[in-house]
Structure 1
Amino acid sequence: MTETATPPAVVGKLSTLDRFLPVWIGAAMAVGLLLGRGVPGIGTAIEKVQVDGISLPIALGLLVMMYPVLAKVRYDRLDTVTGDRKLMVSSLVLNWLVGPAVMFALAWLMLPDLPEYRTGLIIVGLARCIAMVIIWNDLACGDREAAAVLVAINSVFQVLMFAVLGWFYLSVLPGWLGLEKTNIAISPWQIAKSVLIFLGIPLVAGFVTRRYGERAKGRNRYEQRFLPRLGPWALYGLLFTIVILFALQGDQITSHPVDVVRIAAPLLAYFAIMWGGGYLLGAALRLGYARTTTLAFTAAGNNFELAIAVAIATYGASSGQALAGVVGPLIEVPVLVGLVYVSLALRRRFRAAASSEAVTTTATRITSDKGRSVS
């Protein structure tokens, strides 16, 4: 999806894949759930296809999903992002101070009687997104370079801070507040491994493709011919990943509908607070549409692959904590797809505000110039 392909006047020019994206995502979710429910042992079979605890089907889907987007990034422009202190500081605050605290509060307020699900949601809140957020940001015409930088920063903080924050929010803070404490066991290597595979591989591949593609074909040919052919594979990878994720736990999700609803409620509140808060903050700081959108989506997204892996490794595959992690993408995928369209609608307001500000500035200058000429 390109910047120019979103206004209503040109919706008809979008590819079938882009125009009916919500339909394809809904179908992928349904297919995954049906496979998980209707094909005995499919979840177990998929889980067995792994290397050192990493699911190969999920890894394949995520790599195919992220590579085309990262091949579009203009790596020569990254310095314009790292120099934007307002964006960088805002992202760090939203992701590593606000996000975990909001999920902790919502989990305790809305699931006080369900400790396993509550713990699972707190783990989800600690796992900041490094994969699907790149897709949501690209579909919403956010700043690709900013997304690449913020995701990379989240990855570093994830390796350094995940275990520390898990200990704080599950053991220390509940103790201070007189609440029930729990423990989490996760090695820094397990987190680093997830980051290296799910972000490192497609990031390096995208960088190498961009660097040598431009050298061989020239920038115009690379962007106008090669990238349009590569682009649809991001959505193919997304749909494949959704099918696999939902097939893994389709039986568990459909067997516990009431529990799914209980888990979904704080997740919906979390996405609304984080995405809305990110958008309001970006607008207040005048980051512009593209970077405001990137800030909002990176704040709202979560790394469910890591959260599920941690929950399974610590509490077991059939645990309530694991179910809470699995329900995460069940809620995140349709919600963030909806927010993509909300973002695209808000873009008009950003443009209108920018135009109004430009007119006001011009009028002020003209008035000032007239005053000077009179004097």
Structure 2
Amino acid sequence: MSTLDRWLPVWIGLAMIAGLVLGRYVPGLSGALARLEVGGISVPIALGLLVMMYPVLAKVRYDRVAAVTGDRKLLVSSLALNWVVGPLVMFVLAWVFLPDLPEYRTGLIIVGLARCIAMVVIWNDLACGDREAAAVLVAINSVFQVVMFAVLGWFYLTVLPGWLGLDSQGLDVSMGQIAVNVLVFLGVPLVAGIASRWLGEKRRGRAWYEEKFVPKVGPWALYGLLFTIVLLFALQGEAMTRRPLDVARIALPLLAYFALMWFAGLLLGKALGLGYARSTTLAFTAAGNNFELAIAVAIGTFGAASGQALAGVVGPLIEVPVLVGLVYVSLWAARAWFQTDPFGEPLPVAKGRAA
């Protein structure tokens, strides 16, 4: 592993601290960053995510995608976890942990509805998951997000609470807004990744592309991740330091959610015989969320100073360190549960067994 990969938790921790310090002690910074928006999308965060996603999507071997689309176990499991289990789990956790805080509760439910289409490719790559499977699952989530987000928002915030005799809130979000979000955060880097591989292999061959080009652009994924983390913490650094108890209460159901969804995905993949690479891809795509969409919807519907918006922002601030930790758990599980080495090295032979 490179120095950047080996010390990633340290760099992420430093990026979080830097963002908090900038947001808390640089006057007007968070407001200036918040104003840099086009169509409800933060331009600095969009740039960070595009830089983060492009190298990973450029590594994908798109000629292998057909093998993924034929894996019905993987596709059905992913759809069930993302669009049935995930939103329901977040709904239950939000009501269990925040019954007296309706704004934060609504914000968490919105986070649960926004399935991940961006940062998951980083976690999957770090955990040596199946890149082609991740690309396919992210694309499927994108399509479902455009079609189902508003419908599920209406169901979980209005219909289901009414059936259960609970408080309800509406959600005003258009398919156009969701489609723009998907186009920016998935469409642009996906097209760039496909074009890079096609042009690179056509002009210089696969060996050059894999051995020369990919290693050069690869580190930029983590540079983009660290840049995005600094921005996220800078945007809400002041709010987080002013309301630490609120942040802690929002964090508890999020911690439970990420752990439950990740372990459910990994164990389901193992039970279905998907192997380590696809099981870990299933786990990370189930646990991750599209924080940019959740934050944009919360701000657009309830306002930038609302509790819903704060809950949306706390989402990725908890998700990043938790899923980084789960990358290491995943690499441990490769050996302990799947009897394989994620880096392709031979496993040591147990004592008493033939070599």
Could you say which residue in structure 2 is the equivalent of 1:34?
A: 21
Which of residues 308, 325, 328 in structure 2 aligns to 1:338?
325
Q: Is the 8 A contact 1:170 1:181 kept in 2?
A: yes
**In structure 2, what is the Cα distance between the partners aligned to 1:278 and 1:53?**
32
Secondary structure, counterpart of 1:302 in structure 2: coil
Q: Secondary structure at the match of 1:352?
A: coil
Are the counterparts in 1 of residues 334 and 340 from structure 2 also a CA contact under 8 Å? no
- Alignment match, 2:159: 172
8 Å contact kept, 1:304–1:329: yes
Displaced runs of 4+ in structure 1, greater than 6 A?
353-356
**Corresponding residue number in structure 2 for 1:373:** none
Deviations 1:159-187 (A, max 9, x none): 00000000000000000000001111001
Partner of 1:117: 104
1:206 aligns with 2:198: no
Cα deviation 1:63-109 (Å, max 9, x = unaligned): 00000000000000000000000000000000000000000000001
1:44 matched residue in structure 2? 31
TM-score of the two chains, using structure 2 as the length reference: 0.95
1:251 to 219, 227, 238: 238
Q: Residue by residue, what CA displacement relative to the aligned partner does 1:14-45 show, whole Å, maximum 9, x if unpaired?
A: 22111100000011111111111111111110
1:157-306 alignment runs, 5 A limit: 157-306=144-293
Query: For the aligned residues, what is the CA RMSD?
Result: 1.3
Work out the CA distance in 2 between the residues paired with 1:352 and 1:165: 39
Q: Does 1:78 align with 2:65?
A: yes
Partner of 2:298: 311
For the residues of structure 2 that align with 1:44 and 1:352, how far apart are their CA atoms?
A: 50
**Shift of residue 348, structure 1, vs aligned partner:** 1.1
Distance 1:68 1:132 in 2: 12
SS in 2 for 1:249: helix
- Is residue 288–residue 350 contact of structure 1 (8 Å, CA) maintained in 2? no
The structural deviation recorded for 1:321 is 0.3
Distance apart, 1:293 and its partner CA:
0.3
TM-score, with length taken from structure 1: 0.90
CA distance in 2, matches of 1:179, 1:49: 38
- Aligned with 1:128: secondary structure? coil
Question: What is the identity, as a one-letter code, of the residue corresponding to 1:79?
Answer: A
Q: Relative to 1, partners in 2 of residues 1:110 and 1:65: Cα closer, same or farther, differing over 3 Å?
A: same
* Distance of 1:219 and 1:23 partners within structure 2: 34
How far apart, in 2, do the equivalents of 1:146 and 1:350 lie? 20
The number of aligned residues is 343
Q: Which of 316, 320, 329 is equivalent to 2:307?
A: 320
> Are 2:90 and 1:103 equivalent residues in the alignment?
yes
Structure having the larger proportion of residues in helix: 1
How far 1:52 sits from its partner (Å)? 1.8
* Identity rate, percent: 74
Question: Whose radius of gyration is greater, 1 or 2?
Answer: 1
For 2:351, the equivalent position in structure 1 comes to none
CA distance in 1, matches of 2:171, 2:288: 22
Deviation at 1:49, TM superposition (A): 1.5
2 CA distance for matches of 1:188 and 1:139?
32
Contact residue 111 and residue 312 of structure 2 kept, 8 A: yes
Alpha-carbon displacement from aligned partner over 1:293-352 (angstroms, at most 9, x marks no partner): 000000000001100000000000010000001111111000000000010111113552
When structure 1 is superposed on structure 2, of 325-334 and 86-95 the one drifting more is 325-334
